[in-house]
Amino acid sequence: MNNLHEFTAEPMIAYFSMEIGVKNDIPTYSGGLGILAGDTIKSAADLELPVVAVTLITHKGYFNQEIDSNGWQKEKAVIWDPAKYMTLLSEKVKVQIEGRDVYLQAWMYLVISPTGGKVPIIFLDTDLPENASQDRGLTDYLYGGDSDYRIKQEVVLGMGGVRMLQALEFHIKKYHMNEGHASFLSLELLLRFKRDIESVWDERSVWDVARVRDLCVFTTHTPVEAGHDNFSYPLVKQVLGEIIPFEVLKDLAGKDSLNMTLLALSLSKYVNGVAKKHGEVSQHMFPGYHIHAITNGVHSFTWTCEDMAKLYDKYIPGWANEPELFVRTGVIPELELWEGHREAKRKLLTYVGEATGVVMDLNTLTLGFARRATAYKRPHLLFSDIDRLLRITEKSKLQIIYAGKAHPHDDNGKKLIQGIYGYRDKLKGKISIAFLPGYDMDIALKLVSGVDVWLNTPLRPLEASGTSGMKAAHNGVVNFSVLDGWWIEGHIEGFTGWSIGALPTEKSLPGSSDAEDAADLYDKLDNLIIPKYYDLDKSKWSRMMKNAISKNAYYFNSHRMMRRYVTEAYIR
Ligand X SMILES: *Cc1c(COP(=O)(O)O)cnc(C)c1O
Shortest distance, CB of residue 347 to ligand X, whole angstroms?
17
Contact partners, residue 78, CB within 8 Å, separation at least 6: 27, 60, 61, 62, 63, 64
Helix, strand or coil for residue 387? helix
Torsion of CA 267, 272, 273, 275, to 10 degrees: 180
DSSP structural state of residue 181: G
Distance (Å, rounded) from C-alpha 133 to C-alpha 153? Answer: 15
Whose Cβ is closer to ligand X: residue 254's or residue 501's?
501
Q: How far is CA 413 from CA 27, 381, 406, 420, 454, in A?
A: 21, 15, 5, 11, 21
- Within a 10 A sphere around the Cβ of 213, how many other Cβ atoms? 17
- Within a 10 A sphere around the Cβ of 76, how many other Cβ atoms? 11
Outline where 331-455 has alpha helix (H): 334-356, 386-395, 411-426, 441-450
Shortest distance, CB of residue 220 to ligand X, whole angstroms?
15
The answer to whether residues 127 and 92 touch, using CB atoms and an 8 Å cutoff, is no
Whose Cβ is closer to ligand X: residue 30's or residue 393's?
30
Whose Cβ is closer to ligand X: residue 103's or residue 486's?
486
Shortest distance, CB of residue 464 to ligand X, whole angstroms?
9
Which helix (DSSP H) or strand (DSSP E) does residue 135 occupy? helix 133-136
Of 332, 295, 314, the closest CA to residue 550 belongs to 332
Shortest distance, CB of residue 431 to ligand X, whole angstroms?
23
Shortest distance, CB of residue 470 to ligand X, whole angstroms?
8
- Within a 10 A sphere around the Cβ of 23, how many other Cβ atoms? 16
Rama region for 378: left / alpha / beta (φ>0; ψ in -120 to 50; rest):
left
Shortest distance, CB of residue 174 to ligand X, whole angstroms?
25
Shortest distance, CB of residue 76 to ligand X, whole angstroms?
17
Of 197, 522, 270, the closest CA to residue 387 belongs to 522
Distance (Å, rounded) from C-alpha 541 to C-alpha 452? Answer: 10
For the chain, the straight-line distance linking the first and the last C-alpha, in angstroms and rounded, comes to: 33
Cα 267 to the chain's mean position, in Å? 23
Whose Cβ is closer to ligand X: residue 383's or residue 439's?
439
Whose Cβ is closer to ligand X: residue 186's or residue 456's?
456
Distance (Å, rounded) from C-alpha 354 to C-alpha 345? Answer: 14
Shortest distance, CB of residue 403 to ligand X, whole angstroms?
8
Whose Cβ is closer to ligand X: residue 29's or residue 175's?
29
Whose Cβ is closer to ligand X: residue 184's or residue 487's?
487
Distance (Å, rounded) from C-alpha 294 to C-alpha 307? Answer: 30
Distance (Å, rounded) from C-alpha 1 to C-alpha 5? Answer: 9
Return residues touching ligand X (CB under 6 A). Answer: 31-32, 35, 371, 439-441, 444, 466-468, 471
Whose Cβ is closer to ligand X: residue 278's or residue 471's?
471
Distance (Å, rounded) from C-alpha 100 to C-alpha 290? Answer: 38
Whose Cβ is closer to ligand X: residue 105's or residue 481's?
481
Shortest distance, CB of residue 451 to ligand X, whole angstroms?
14
Whose Cβ is closer to ligand X: residue 366's or residue 457's?
457
In the chain, what's the furthest Cα-to-Cα distance? Answer: 84
Shortest distance, CB of residue 448 to ligand X, whole angstroms?
8
Shortest distance, CB of residue 23 to ligand X, whole angstroms?
12
Whose Cβ is closer to ligand X: residue 249's or residue 400's?
400
Shortest distance, CB of residue 155 to ligand X, whole angstroms?
27
Whose Cβ is closer to ligand X: residue 344's or residue 389's?
344
Shortest distance, CB of residue 41 to ligand X, whole angstroms?
15
Q: Which pairs from 163-166 meet CB under 8 Å and 24+ separation?
A: 163/93, 163/94, 163/95, 163/104, 163/188, 164/54, 164/91, 164/93, 164/104, 164/106, 164/122, 164/124, 165/14, 165/52, 165/54, 165/122, 166/93
The answer to whether residues 46 and 84 touch, using CB atoms and an 8 Å cutoff, is no
Whose Cβ is closer to ligand X: residue 262's or residue 521's?
521
Residues in the chain: 572
